[in-house]
Every structure is written in structure tokens, then in C-alpha cells.
Amino acid sequence: MTSFNDFGLHADINRALAAKDYTTPTPIQTQAIPPLMKGRDLCGIAQTGTGKTAGFSLPSIHHLLTYPHRANPRGCRMLVLAPTRELAAQIAQSCRDYGRFTKLRVSTVFGGVPINKQIRDLAQGVDILVATPGRLLDLIDQRALRMDDVEIFVLDEADQMMDMGFIHSLRRVAKLLPSRRQNLFFSATMPKEIAGLADQFLNDPVTVSVAPQATTAEKIRQRVTFVEQKEKQALLHHVLRSEDIDRALIFTRTKHGADRVVRHLKGAGIEAFAIHGNKSQAQRTTALQAFRSGQVRLLVATDIAARGIDVSGVSHVINFEIPNVPEQYVHRIGRTARAGAEGVAISFVAPDERPYLRDIERVTRTKAEPAKLPDNFGEMVRNLPKPAQPPRDTGSKGRDPQRQRDDAQRRKGHGEGGSRDGGHRGPRREAAAGDGAQPQRKRRFRPRGGVGAHKGSVKRVG
């Protein structure tokens, strides 16, 4: 199978694919589309970035067009569940793109935004609904949405759903779905408990896998530097100066850690945004858009906030702190080396993180290349610029109206967000507005105005 034309997809879909310049199906598309066109259930082991969204949405749109009928009021013909608002918005945008020459109605619902508009949107019924589980159940409880018309059910990023504590919501949704339906189940990893969940949803599925479980993408050059925790900031500055970076995602384990990294970078005149669950929706949207457009090249993120986000052109993933769950490492570094590009993953490992590194190496069956600290590192640590002051409104939730609304939602217990990461709430429509990534000239990060200009030669790490 070498061309999309071989699948026999509806002509309107082929037109949309041509408009998007897709010529060759990705491996998951080649494997998944034919059985899905036959109506089979599917269990897909694949990460975001593999083309899985088109893999499931193209045959589904084909089905909706081949058996056309209007969705019933408050009903939907295809339901896609995703763990985060960002991913839900991204999937909905892809469905809109692939269905742009059709009259299919695509709606997105997630928490953190007023529910009334969503109720109005659903009143006439929609063809494709992309939802996060909490808000979906809210709408069902308010009788604004019914599940008895669902013909195709997609559960995306199942492992993250479990991590975020959505298991009970998923079981509830499963009970409400009609028994005659096609089921698609996607997960980046397939440990036992996820396989158990898949069993509950799937009926004689075809299993397709594009990246063996928890193995690391081959195109990613992985490096590790052993460093004291308190010296990581200096190492980060060094890496940013010595590497050819288009765009870098910097991961921390905690929200405060992410803010601290940004403040330190700002102190050195380096622009970066943070994205995590304590940020207001407006801040998250701004950060993501700026990163997508290339306006800002560094995004500091916690795991939950960053997963599922598809931004092309991420040349580097920097693990400022390495994750204590090995699979999370695979997800993180998978943000780079997308769409055939090469990528670099650099991990900073403090003495107390070494056991985590050993777990990662065991699970991924790879060993990252050790990279030495530069000779003048002590001097770099001593000369590290002071961090910028935290913004005055940090912690004062009253100043950002969106934040006030988000918090009100949170208090009411509605909406989505990832229990582990503090709950991300608010509209993410903007996040779906295309990738917008322009090819950028490679650039090194140099502090402005001589701030933190370390003397002496700076060697490459690794």
C-alpha cells in the first residue's frame, strides 16, 4: 500500500488529503485503515506523532459519509474521548480538516468553559463529537447529550486516561454506549491494566502497533549528564548556548519547578514560557501558540500539560528532571524526532535520580550516551544570573478573569484536567488552530546585554 488512493476512501476525503499534501500513509495508517474500513474493532499501540489521528478519523469519516443520515437531536454518530483539552481540540481540528469538503458537523466539549454553549451546539446533534470524559458525563447528566446513536467509539491515549484517574468515568461511558458499534482503542503503551481496559471495550479487535512497547524512537539521540540538582540551571544555560536548537521542550516534574526554570531563563534574558496545570487557560493558550508559531523557542512543561501536544520542529527535549515513571520518558522524548526529523534528548540526572535513570534504561533497553560537564562549569555555576522576580500576581487568582472562572469551575468539581497535574481548565480552541510551525533558522540562545556572559571557552556537552 503506497498511496491513499488505494484505500478506496470517499472522494471528499481524498480531496482533503490532497489539500493537506499527504501523499504517503504512515505505517499506522497503512495497518489500521483497511480493517477499519471493513468495520473491525481496533487496538492501536501508537503515540501521538505517528499519524494515528488520521488513521482512525479517515475510515470513520468514510463510514459517516457512506451511510449518511442526520444525527438525532442531542446525539452523536462518532464519539472520540481524549484525556486532555489540548488533545481533544487537536483531534477535532484534524477531523474538521479531513472533513472540510463534507457537511459533517464536528463538535468539541471539555471542561473549564461555560457548558451552555456546548449544550446549544449539541442540541441539533453532531456527526463527530470529541470530548474529555468529565464534561461528557456532565452533559449526559444534564440530558444535553445521549449516547444511544453512537456508531463509532474511539478511546484515545488510554494509558494517560488511566494515569489521570478517568477509569470510573470510562466505565460509566461504556455502560451508556449502544452494544452495536465499532470500537477503536489507542494507547501509547499496553501494560496489563490497559490491556484489561481494552478488553472491556473491544470486540475481536485487530491489533496494530507502530512502536514496540516502551522502546525509544530510533532517530532520537539520547544523552545524559550527571549533575547536582542545584547546578542544573547553569547546565541548562550551557546547553542552550552550545546546541543548535530550533525549538526545545524542557520538562520538569513539578509546576513550581517549571516556573523556577522560566524565571532563571528570564533572569538571563532568555525568553521561555511555562505550561502546566496552575497556569490560567489564557496563559496556556498563549504559551502554546507562541511555541507553535516559533515566536518563543523554549517551552517549559510538566508531563500532563505537554502530552498529546503535536508541535513539529521540536529539535530538543531537555529533561531538566527525569521522570520517575519510565514510560513517561518515552512520551517526553517522543515530542522530538517527529515526521521523520532527527531529534536530541538530553537528561540532567541528579544523584537522587539515578535509580529513575536505571529504570528508564531497563524499560527502554537503551543506554543514553554520557555527556561530560564543560571544563569551566564551576565558573558557570558561580556566574549564573539571578532569576527574574516572580510576577506580582503569582498566586493571586483574582487578577485574571479567566482564572477566576477556571477556579470557580474547579470548586464546582466540573471540567477536566488531570488530577495529578492540578487540573487544566478553560477553552483550548486556539490550541487547535493548526500547527503554524514555520521552518526556522537554527539559533543558539545567547543572553541579552551580556547578562550572564560566562567567560572562557564553552565546550559542547556530548
From candidates 14, 30, 31, 48, binder to ligand AMP by CB under 6 A = 48
Q: Taking CB under 6 A as the rule, does residue 51 contact ligand AMP?
A: yes
Q: Taking CB under 6 A as the rule, does residue 22 contact ligand AMP?
A: yes
Q: Give the torsion sign (CA, 65, 67, 73, 75).
A: negative
Q: Hey, which bits of 284-398 come out as E strands?
A: 298-301, 316-319, 343-349, 369-370
Q: Which stretch binds ligand AMP (CB under 6 A): 45-53, 59-67, 136-144, 252-260?
A: 45-53
Question: What span, in angstroms and rounded, lies between the C-alpha atoms of 139 and 130?
Answer: 13
C-alpha cell at 381: 555555576
Q: Which stretch binds ligand AMP (CB under 6 A): 31-39, 52-60, 193-201, 452-460?
A: 52-60
Q: Taking CB under 6 A as the rule, does residue 343 contact ligand AMP?
A: no
Contact code string over 415-454 relative to ligand AMP, x by CB under 6 A: --------------------x-------------------
Q: Taking CB under 6 A as the rule, does residue 310 contact ligand AMP?
A: yes
Q: Taking CB under 6 A as the rule, does residue 132 contact ligand AMP?
A: no
Question: What span, in angstroms and rounded, lies between the C-alpha atoms of 357 and 421?
Answer: 22
Question: What span, in angstroms and rounded, lies between the C-alpha atoms of 442 and 100?
Answer: 34
C-alpha cell at 74: 442531542
Q: Taking CB under 6 A as the rule, does residue 56 contact ligand AMP?
A: no
Q: Taking CB under 6 A as the rule, does residue 52 contact ligand AMP?
A: yes
Question: What span, in angstroms and rounded, lies between the C-alpha atoms of 306 and 258?
Answer: 12
Q: Which stretch binds ligand AMP (CB under 6 A): 23-31, 146-154, 259-267, 371-379?
A: 23-31
Q: Taking CB under 6 A as the rule, does residue 334 contact ligand AMP?
A: no
Angle at 330 between CA 327 and CA 335, to 5 degrees: 135
Q: Hey, which bits of 55-198 come out as E strands?
A: 76-81, 106-109, 126-131, 152-155, 182-187
Q: Taking CB under 6 A as the rule, does residue 49 contact ligand AMP?
A: yes
Q: Which stretch binds ligand AMP (CB under 6 A): 44-52, 177-185, 231-239, 276-284?
A: 44-52
Q: Taking CB under 6 A as the rule, does residue 54 contact ligand AMP?
A: yes
**Shortest approach of ligand AMP to residue 10 CB, angstroms?**
17
- If the CB atoms of residues 46 and 272 are measured against ligand AMP, the closer one turns out to be 46
Binding footprint of ligand AMP, residue count (CB under 6 A): 15
Contact code string over 264-283 relative to ligand AMP, x by CB under 6 A: --------------------
Q: Residue 63: CB partners within 8 Å, gap ≥ 6?
A: 37, 39, 151, 152, 182
Question: What span, in angstroms and rounded, lies between the C-alpha atoms of 84 and 126?
Answer: 21
314-323 as b/e: b if 16+ CB within 10 A: bbbbbbbbbb
Q: Residue 398: how many CB atoms within 10 A of its CB?
A: 9
C-alpha cell at 132: 474529555
- DSSP line for 214-259: TPPPTTEEEEEEE--GGGHHHHHHHHHHHS-BS-EEEE-SSHHHHH
Q: Taking CB under 6 A as the rule, does residue 125 contact ligand AMP?
A: no
C-alpha cell at 17: 488529503
Select the residue whose beta carbon is closest to ligand AMP and give its number: 53
**Shortest approach of ligand AMP to residue 388 CB, angstroms?**
34
- If the CB atoms of residues 29 and 319 are measured against ligand AMP, the closer one turns out to be 29
Contact code string over 375-414 relative to ligand AMP, x by CB under 6 A: ----------------------------------------
Residues that bind ligand AMP (CB under 6 A): 22, 24-26, 29, 48-54, 310, 339, 435
